Amino acid sequence: MTRTRWFELSRIGGTGLVTLLYWRHVVPEWVLMIAVVVGLYPLVKAGLLSLVQQHKLGTELFVSLATVIALLTGETIAGAVIMVIILIAEFIAEINTDRARASIKEMIGTVPLTATLVENGQHRLVPILELQPGNIVLVRAGEKVPVDGVIFEGAASVNEAPITGESIPRDKSRGDQVFAGTVLENGAIDVRTEKVGGDTTFARIVRLVEEAKEHQAPIQKLTDKVAAWLIPIVLLFLAGVYLLTRDARLIVTLLIFTSPAELGLATPLVMISAIARAAREGIMVKGGIYLESLAKVDVIVFDKTGTLTTGKPQVTAVIPTEGTDLALLLRQAGAADMRSSHPLALAVVNHVMQLGIAIPEASEFQTLQGRGVRAVVEGEIVLLGTAKLLEENGIAAPPVQGAENKTFVYVASGGRALGVLHFADRIRPEAREVLAQLKATGVKRLVMLTGDNASTAHAVAAEVGIDEIHADLLPDGKVDAIRALQAQGHRVAMVGDGINDAPALAAAEVGVAMGAGGTQAAIEAADVALMADDLSKILVARTIARRAYRTIKENLFFGIGVVHVAGITAALLGWIGPVAAALLHLGPDVLVFVNSVKLIRIRL
């Protein structure tokens, strides 16, 4: 409750009290008229602004018109009561909208305004805005991380729920990434600052969610158009009823039930609540349009590597050539790959280190694009890569059994082949269950698009339950596959890493980026960004989208259709008058509000 809200509440309460006192003959009519003018002022002002700026006849003018007609026809108390009840309904709407919007920031929390700077062995408290990239800041147990950065020293358990939606804290140590707004459960760390203020992942999330409210869903635009067309039709209807009945009291009653107030609230409040709930779950949605699209998609397309699989290959077998010592092969391979950042190279180095084999330093290192690496290790030229790389250097590549089903790398040293390393990318353990549940939500086809070979793609697809596979694709091939599905009349969502799959994400009705926490490119590339590297978040996003869409339809049908049709019917039959109509009008208002904001807290 802000000061403005308290003032509004006082104005409504004062108008209601004067109306009660007039009804009990305590105050004269002129006092009531002043109270009505004070109460009507904000409604008339809002209605005229809407008419002038947006060329829309809003519900405020409807209420003002109903009140004025009631007063002019001698229904003084009825007119005042109508106005007070409608003001209460408007107040409830504003409070609930404010609460839904405020929850966006509440569920993320706040970033500290100061940080403990470590400089020349000294600690001092400084404002966040004074920090620069490269500064070291100390964060203790119970404190929030003030910057995006990398742990320089120490270890801690970090609750990353504000960023990823994951409630289980993660153990972090030297070299690990931490985000502003996350909380240290225990331990203490020195963090080397990378981003501060508006550049942090936290700030980008808040900005993204705030901007999302401005992107209307198609159903929201439709209700706005319906409201714009409905008002002139309603006015013609009321004019016709008056010409037939000459009953001003009936017109006042009908004005209340033909007001398009709930039509304007049926969708925006739902979308704000749904976006806030998604953000709480670590899912960034760029607008209501993408929520609606995600609710309606009937085909979901997945990238393979990094989406259905972990994207972190592991060495599964080492096959030395005849006469080659296994330890020598691994030592040479580890040394050659030590300076490479390729995922397969990292897998080789990790495998060698886990076996406890000492890795010598390479005296020379060269990356050979698309073929592998070349290094000089202990005086020998070592080659790691494709068969083509070995052939270019006059070395025969050893045969590999079942090569069509595997990812493998040849190793050669001193002019001869030492052996072959086999790799496998681990399938996400939750993948099969998540995909099965997505089908249960109405998804007709699950499709995999991958640049990997067909045999590997089919093996993964069979394990997770994919219906259709397109392998050996370049980025433009993925776009073509999505457009082909759309040409068949399907609504398509694409799930990828948000960077390599950017063209495909853009081509689909909804692009979903996996594991986008801290990755600006991924957040910008997709319509929906899953901050945690968790496939089940797709199911959560789909569930929120479908609940939101269902809630909008409930609002339109029950909160507006049933109640208003019943009210208009009762008014035409003479069963109710203006005061009863105003009281009944609170029903759909409250129903729409409660039904909309429940998305913030409801169990999925």
Residues marked active site are found at 303
Between CA 320 and CA 330, with CA 324 as vertex, the angle to 5 degrees is 60
Residue holding tokens 């219906």? 467
The phi, psi pair for 444, rounded to 5°, reads -80, -35
Residue holding tokens 């990828």? 496
Helices (H), 110-247: 161-164, 201-212, 218-245
Q: Is 539 in a helix, a strand, or coil?
A: helix
Residue holding tokens 């986008």? 516
Its sign, for the CA torsion 574, 580, 581, 587, is: negative
Helices and strands in the chain: count of H runs, count of E runs: 22, 20
DSSP state of 598: G
The alpha carbons of the chain give a radius of gyration, in whole angstroms, of 32
Tokens standing for 3?
């000061």
Residues found in the chain: 604
Neighbours of 28 (CB within 10 A): 10
Q: How far is CA 327 from the centre of its chain?
A: 48
Q: Is 513 in a helix, a strand, or coil?
A: strand
The phi, psi pair for 474, rounded to 5°, reads -85, 170
Contact indicator for 291, 396 with CB cutoff of 8 Å: no
What region, left, alpha or beta, does residue 175 occupy, with left being phi > 0 and alpha being psi -120 to 50 degrees?
left
In 3D, which of 301, 289, 292 has the Cα closest to residue 444? Answer: 301
Cα distance between residue 410 and residue 384, in whole Å: 6
Q: Residue 430 corresponds to which amino acid?
A: E
Cα distance between residue 504 and residue 301, in whole Å: 10
Label residues 332-342 b or e (16+ Cβ within 10 Å = b): bbbbbbbbbeb
Label residues 55-72 b or e (16+ Cβ within 10 Å = b): ebbbbbbbbbbbbbbbbe
Contact indicator for 376, 361 with CB cutoff of 8 Å: no
Beta-carbon contacts of residue 499 (< 8 Å; ≥ 6 apart): 519, 521, 522, 525
Residue holding tokens 């694709």? 473
Neighbours of 552 (CB within 10 A): 28
Label residues 261-284 b or e (16+ Cβ within 10 Å = b): bbbbbbbbbbbbbbbbbbbbbbbb
